[in-house]
Structure 1
Amino acid sequence: MEALTRGMWTGLSVQEKEKLLYGMIALCPAGMEYIGLRTFERFGQRTETGLFLHAGREFVFVPGDRVTLGWNQWQDGMNEETSADLSETVSEYGVEDVDSFLTSQMSPVREAAIAPMLVECQIQSLGWIEATEEEALAGHGSEFAAELEKFKHSDQKGLEQYQAFRLERQGEKVRIQRYNEELTLEALLEEQAEAGFGLLTEDEWEYLYGGGCRTLFPWGDSFDYTMKLKHFGRLEGLTEIVGESVETNPPLVEEDDMPYHLELPNFFGLQFAGDPYKVELTMDSSGEVLPKGGDGGEMICGGMGPLIGYLPAAAVYYRNSNANELDWEDWMDSMYYRRVIRLTDLT
């Protein structure tokens, strides 16, 4: 087990790593395949690790560690651009103490022991599941049929009927999803446990997203205004970024083929939603749901601009203090999850 902590893992040879990675298959659900070693590097952190495949879904090995999580003070401090943007934005809402405001938005500082695990690389939607045309017709009848026909003859990229069905153009085909209103948290946990998987805790999510960093963002304490962000487009070169509303304004810079920066794989090879409208399911020690990586769009809808609007999606330790005011059914539309296999039994 000691070899699977980050400090020891880094010092192992390729042969030693591959021996351990092959050995992990015995602890996994049937059908797990080891693909090979891969190296991921971003934000000043680097991991050489193993890539696995199960039923078409990719997993990576993430070594364990003992880390400090949460946020209550700066490590390096903001640069002048970030500081001016932050102060101007929050002052419009009556906030005078910027540091206290940020601390109130973050999880508390604490020590955590993170077990080594295999982690699903990409998230899956909780509230929306793939459906055939026949299944969608059976559930929504003539309404679905009419919208599908209209969509096929339009130039729309996507269409959503709230908590009913989604249509997405994929080349010549149309991807159909239906809302999974019957799903409960208990059923999800039971289903995944029976299949040999677990779901993330808040500690694990913060470690996977930030790698134990002590900065506000995984790359540092200052916002990166060169990024391309969903709902805003490319920020680079902007001189006026405060107070733009994503609901009433078009993207700040014309779209291009560049991927959204917050959706790119990180130093563990994991991809995150990078979208404040989306949240990822985690749970605390008592089993309560703690949505991470977003706030359902609360701040971005308020016209707070990229820095504060994206704080829930970009800040490593953001914790939505209003999360307990919503029920499970309220989160399902925007909630995603990823599966893990904790390797605590490896000898």
Structure 2
Amino acid sequence: MGPLNRDVWEELSAQEKEERLRNLLSHFPTGMKYEGLETFERFGQRIETGVFSNDAQKFVFVPGDQVTLGWDRWQDGMNEETSADLLETVSEYGVDDVDSFLSSQMSPVREVHIAPMLVECSNHSLGWIEVTEAEAMAQESAFFAEELEKFKLSDLNQYELHQDFRLVRQGDTVEIFWFNEDLTLDYLIDEEAKAGFGLLTEDEWEYLYGGGCRTLFPWGDSFDYTMKLKHFGSLEEVKGIVDESAEPDPSLVVENDRPYDLELPNFFGVQFAGDPYNYELTLDVYGNMMPKGGDGGAMICGGNGPLVGFLPAAAVYYRDGNAGELDWEDMIDYMNYRRVIRLAD
């Protein structure tokens, strides 16, 4: 295995890592800059790796590995709290075999070689493009000018006209996003390739999210009821207040200044949406769309509580079995993507 693979990489000194990282710059698009080494640690995994930047976007080097992906059985098993919660929730839908239910929701177990890569730390909206007010006015929307003025005078933090435009208040300014209705997957792939980037595969996404772990979640087989989650707030504070049999009530969500746990950088320095209402675009082995990291909010809208509601966003190997029934135009409304550069071993 070469020095860019995980087992060898971890044995290199900081000086050796920096030398190899600087040598990689010639393989990257013009404008990519090396910022230095940084150590990331979470969920019992740790790595010292290189941080790069390109056009104000942050990238990290992720070494390659030979890993087992997918899920069909427990490694350690659920604790009593998680087990009782899960059984109570799924039994309402006539599910008696929890293990079979979970296995049916996950990607199959497989052995995969992951090539080393440079990965964009955060993801971006696929269906929405930020525009200036002048650019938005030029779209000649029948509603935009009137709705923008009403929004500026209101106390709303966000307003959206479905698949048309979105307004987001940021302090004293209003950010404007226009729906990218003409975007196609082939066009996106071609444009990113011209710029020197690719899109993640499902295998790469699962490796980035779980690091090759064999547990249900990146941190283990049991749910973490101390987290702060979107749509629920701090679970410790809200426990006993929110009725888990109903869809989350925004008026009962307990918020504080603490960030959402599933949005924090992981052991590779990569950040995920941490929101089951959203998807992240990846490609399957045939180059077709394979959304990861969510289910469009199907489970959470069903009033399943944080454990099952966030299974699509928190479980490493979750695969939305209903995604194939949705049109591209519907998917990109809730889809994010990130760029990647694959490197030779």
TM-score, reference length from structure 1: 0.97
Rounded to whole Å, the distance in 1 between the matches of 2:250 and 2:97 is 32
Q: What displacement does 1:81 show?
A: 0.5
Rounded to whole Å, the distance in 2 between the matches of 1:301 and 1:329 is 21
Q: What displacement does 1:159 show?
A: 1.0
- Aligned partner of 2:246 in structure 1 is 245
Q: Which amino acid aligns with 2:179?
A: Y
Q: Check conservation: 1:125, 1:335, Cα contact below 8 A.
A: yes
Rounded to whole Å, the distance in 2 between the matches of 1:285 and 1:141 is 40
Distance of aligned partners of 1:71 and 1:321 in 2 relative to their CA distance in 1, 3 Å threshold? same
Matches within 5 A, 1:252-263: 252-263=252-263
The Cα offsets for residues 40-77 of structure 1, whole Å up to 9 and x where unpaired, read as: 00000001000000011100000000000000000010
- Aligned partner of 1:12 in structure 2 is 12
Q: Which amino acid aligns with 2:180?
A: N
Q: What displacement does 1:243 show?
A: 3.1
Whether 1:335 and 2:335 are equivalent positions in the alignment is yes
Q: Check conservation: 2:284, 2:290, Cα contact below 8 A.
A: yes
Q: Which amino acid aligns with 1:176?
A: I
Q: What displacement does 1:10 show?
A: 0.4
Q: What displacement does 1:156 show?
A: 1.1
Q: What displacement does 1:242 show?
A: 6.4
Q: Check conservation: 2:40, 2:48, Cα contact below 8 A.
A: yes
Matches within 5 A, 1:223-242: 223-237=223-237, 238-239=239-240
Q: What displacement does 1:240 show?
A: 6.7
- Aligned partner of 1:61 in structure 2 is 61
Q: Check conservation: 2:279, 2:335, Cα contact below 8 A.
A: yes
Whether 1:97 and 2:97 are equivalent positions in the alignment is yes
Rounded to whole Å, the distance in 1 between the matches of 2:148 and 2:140 is 11
Name the SS of the counterpart of 1:330 in structure 2. helix
Name the SS of the counterpart of 2:307 in structure 1. helix
Q: What displacement does 1:241 show?
A: 6.3
Name the SS of the counterpart of 1:160 in structure 2. strand
The Cα offsets for residues 271-315 of structure 1, whole Å up to 9 and x where unpaired, read as: 000000000000111111110000111111111110000000000
Q: Which amino acid aligns with 1:191?
A: E
Distance of aligned partners of 1:242 and 1:66 in 2 relative to their CA distance in 1, 3 Å threshold? farther
- Aligned partner of 1:292 in structure 2 is 292
- Aligned partner of 2:36 in structure 1 is 36
Could you tell which deviates more after superposition, 249-258 or 329-338? 249-258
Matches within 5 A, 1:123-272: 123-237=123-237, 238-239=239-240, 243-246=244-247, 249-250=249-250, 252-272=252-272
Structure 2 portions without partners, runs of 5+? none
Q: Which amino acid aligns with 2:189?
A: L
Q: What displacement does 1:251 show?
A: 5.4
Q: Which amino acid aligns with 2:193?
A: A
- Aligned partner of 1:25 in structure 2 is 25
Rounded to whole Å, the distance in 2 between the matches of 1:310 and 1:240 is 18
Q: What displacement does 1:322 show?
A: 1.1
Q: Which amino acid aligns with 1:211?
A: G
Q: Which amino acid aligns with 2:157?
A: K
Distance of aligned partners of 1:338 and 1:187 in 2 relative to their CA distance in 1, 3 Å threshold? same
Name the SS of the counterpart of 2:3 in structure 1. helix
Name the SS of the counterpart of 1:51 in structure 2. strand
Rounded to whole Å, the distance in 1 between the matches of 2:159 and 2:95 is 38
Rounded to whole Å, the distance in 2 between the matches of 1:203 and 1:47 is 20
The Cα offsets for residues 144-188 of structure 1, whole Å up to 9 and x where unpaired, read as: 111111111111111111101111111111100000001000000
Distance of aligned partners of 1:251 and 1:221 in 2 relative to their CA distance in 1, 3 Å threshold? farther
Could you tell which deviates more after superposition, 299-308 or 230-239? 230-239
Q: Which amino acid aligns with 1:97?
A: D
Q: Output the aligned Cα RMSD.
A: 1.3
Task: Count residues with an aligned counterpart.
Answer: 344
Q: Which amino acid aligns with 1:2?
A: G
- Aligned partner of 1:308 in structure 2 is 308
- Aligned partner of 2:88 in structure 1 is 88
Q: Check conservation: 2:232, 2:254, Cα contact below 8 A.
A: no
Q: Which amino acid aligns with 2:246?
A: S
